[in-house]
Structure 1
């Protein structure tokens, strides 16, 4: 009887291991490197292996995010350089014509002014995005999260906050850059008509959730792409910049596929 029970338990344990292997294989196939499988119920050797795989998934996800951000940064740098080179002479020449007495008061003035205004506006627009490619290097220090979050909370008194963090939790971050990321996320939440925020620590990551409008799947795939926006007056740089700021601090920023219960949207840092 004892042998049969032992054999059954061994068989069941092996099936559980097969299920774990299947889940991890599917996560990798879908390029989801955020997986973390529990280690409860595993033998010491299996537990060590699972912990190593969890850490490996986290590191792969961080490297993928870093490479993605660097690629967008290089593309943005090239585009801004080329656009500025193209618009600068147009702006300069059209401005010179507008200052000429031969043009002032003639039918040509309105058309040349339109050219000047458009090229000047494009130059200002592009120049504003140079900050995406030219960011200060972070100054990392141990940062107590609860204290830092309370400073940001004071800026948004109309929101209902729930902060649930382990006592004394600290991360190596640049507080100014971290605050910029938090403010961007909260402003986005407010624009989506959020009234409540939930901040908690889960699986070695900071989860920031809000009760604003659900982000459609087709939009969720694009939200971290620079200049992508669904807003009429949006710049499309807030979330992509926030992601880059977190990557420069050795972490990441992603939209959770499964938000915290009771909240339509969860960002994970």
Structure 2
């Protein structure tokens, strides 16, 4: 192949040299025919050289355009070419194959990184120098309570200062965001970093839900404290209850003046043991045994327990009606009963309504809203409502909602209280299952 290219080049140079020679001889000897033939040969060779150069320019231009458009499927024909032209054609084709392989490798890496971003729990938001969002992951939209995040201006619904705060956050800085969505209170930690991508600088915001982490740590602290207190109280009360019961059975005590005093001690200690035992449930909750079940069937079972009096109407809105949950049905039943009992006690003897709505979101999370039109919960009490042993009712234990929160945590879910007036209801609890 190389020899053919040498022969072709040598032949062109020979013809050009012959043309120059004939043109020179014709001019010197004034033989115009010879000069014309020599001139024609020179013009033809120059045209052939110019045409070959143009062909090389066009092929190079086509190759660069294909690369610029990220099209590496171009292939140049080899038939009808020889010598250096064929070598050039093959070289360009090999270059196209190499670039195509690199493109496939980059696409695979992009899909790999996108898959990683789609499963991480932290939200990722990337925007350029023009404040336009370049890329996000599903966790960012979920944490921000949006179906899809396309611009920071969407966050103005939570406060006009939030988009500006995120735009002004410099690399290495952190800030906390706290606002209310339709799904409850949100508290996020935001960290900003910068990265150079080509000639452009992009800013990366990492969002983490610190509210759930704080709630989890607080709940663990309460559980540890409850275990210690119940253990110490039981160790102190159990002997008193046992001894007082023994004395009450003695004949010399039954008819004595101290009988009533000992009986009061026994009843008080027995009641205290029962009281402490109820708190022990909070710190010794059974491990969930998840299984699939229909939510509507579970709610119908709860209806049969006659928890709702005649003065209160209960409506169910399950979308779709065959909506299924994968959790421990016994534990979830306890959570629903606790919330429904609270709603009944809140409404009291007057006429009222309780509405249960459940649906599956686009990210496959399941939400259950339990609303009632009873008196609104004061803001000061709403902040403490999930704290163990906190209650505003006489005789209340204060462990119903805190126990429900622990059950939801064990079920990989969460429970929160929405602000009064959300969706037109005075009180709304929302359960979220991941």
Q: Shorter-normalised TM-score: what interval?
A: 0.7 to 0.9
TM-score (norm. length: structure 2): 0.48
Name the residue aligned to 2:186: 33
> Cα distance, 1:267 vs. partner?
0.7
Larger Rg: 2
Name the residue aligned to 1:96: 246
Is 1:77 aligned with 2:223?
Answer: no
Kept in 2, the 8 Å contact 1:65–1:247? The answer is no
Equivalents in 1 of 2:384, 2:231: separation in Å? Answer: 24
Q: Equivalent residue for 1:182?
A: 336
Partner of 1:255: 417
Correspondence 1:199 to 2:349: no
Structure-2 change in CA distance of 1:266 and 1:102 (3 Å): same
Correspondent of 1:138 among 288, 293, 297: 288
Shift of 1:137: 0.9
Give TM-score, length-normalised by structure 1: 0.75
Query: Match of 1:129, SS?
Result: helix
Report SS of the residue matched to 1:137: coil
Q: Decide which of 394, 400, 422 is 1:238's aligned counterpart.
A: 400
Bigger fraction of residues in strand: 2
Indicate how the Cα distance of structure 1 residues 26 and 34 shifts in structure 2: closer, same or farther if over 3 A, else same.
closer
**Equivalence for 1:129:** 279
CA gap 1:65/1:145 in 2 versus in 1, 3 angstroms: farther
RMSD over aligned CA atoms reads 3.1
**TM alignment of 1:49-60, pairs within 5 A:** 53=207, 56-57=208-209, 60=210
User: Which residue number corresponds to residue 61 of structure 1?
Assistant: 211
The answer to whether the Cα contact below 8 Å between 1:209 and 1:260 also exists between their aligned partners in 2 is no
Structure 1 alignment gaps of length 5 or more = 1-9, 36-48
> What is the CA–CA distance in structure 2 between the aligned matches of 1:25 and 1:127, rounded to whole Å?
40
- What is the deviation of 1:126? 1.1
Q: Is the 8 A contact 2:418 2:429 kept in 1?
A: yes
1:182, CA displacement in angstroms? 0.9
Would the aligned equivalents of 1:197 and 1:211 in 2 still touch at CA under 8 Å?
A: no
Counterpart Cα distance in 1 of 2:235 and 2:222: 20
- Superposed CA deviations along residues 45-86 of structure 1, whole A, max 9, x for unmatched, are xxxx78x73xx32xx333333222222111111111111111
State the alpha-carbon separation in 1 of the partners of residues 243 and 152 from structure 2. 74
Contact in 1 for aligned 2:356/2:368 (Cα 8 Å): no
By relative contact order (CA 8 Å, sep 6+), the higher-ranking structure is 1
Q: Is the 8 A contact 1:62 1:251 kept in 2?
A: no
Corresponding residue for 1:107?
257
Residue of structure 1 equivalent to 2:126: none
Which position in structure 1 is the counterpart of 2:236?
Answer: 86
Q: Is the 8 A contact 2:343 2:374 kept in 1?
A: yes
Which residue is 1:209 aligned to?
Answer: 371
- Counterpart among 373, 382, 406 of residue 220 in structure 1: 382
**Matched residue SS, 2:162:** helix
- Pair 101,190 (structure 1): closer, same or farther in 2 beyond 3 Å: same
Q: Output aligned runs, 1:10-29, within 5 Å.
A: 16=153, 19-20=162-163, 22=165, 25-27=176-178
Following superposition, the deviation at residue 229 of structure 1 comes to 1.7
Distance 1:242 1:105 in 2: 48
What displacement does 1:160 show? 3.1
- CA distance in structure 1 between the partners assigned to 2:420 and 2:303 by the alignment: 25
With 247-256 and 134-143 compared, the bigger mean Cα shift is at 134-143
Q: Deviations over 1:199-238 (max 9, x none)?
A: 1448643322111221111221222122222222322221
Residues 184 and 239 in structure 1, CA contact (< 8 A), matched pair in contact too:
yes
The count of aligned residue pairs is 239
Q: 1:117 maps to what in 2?
A: 267
Q: How far apart are the structure 2 equivalents of 1:162 and 1:33?
A: 27
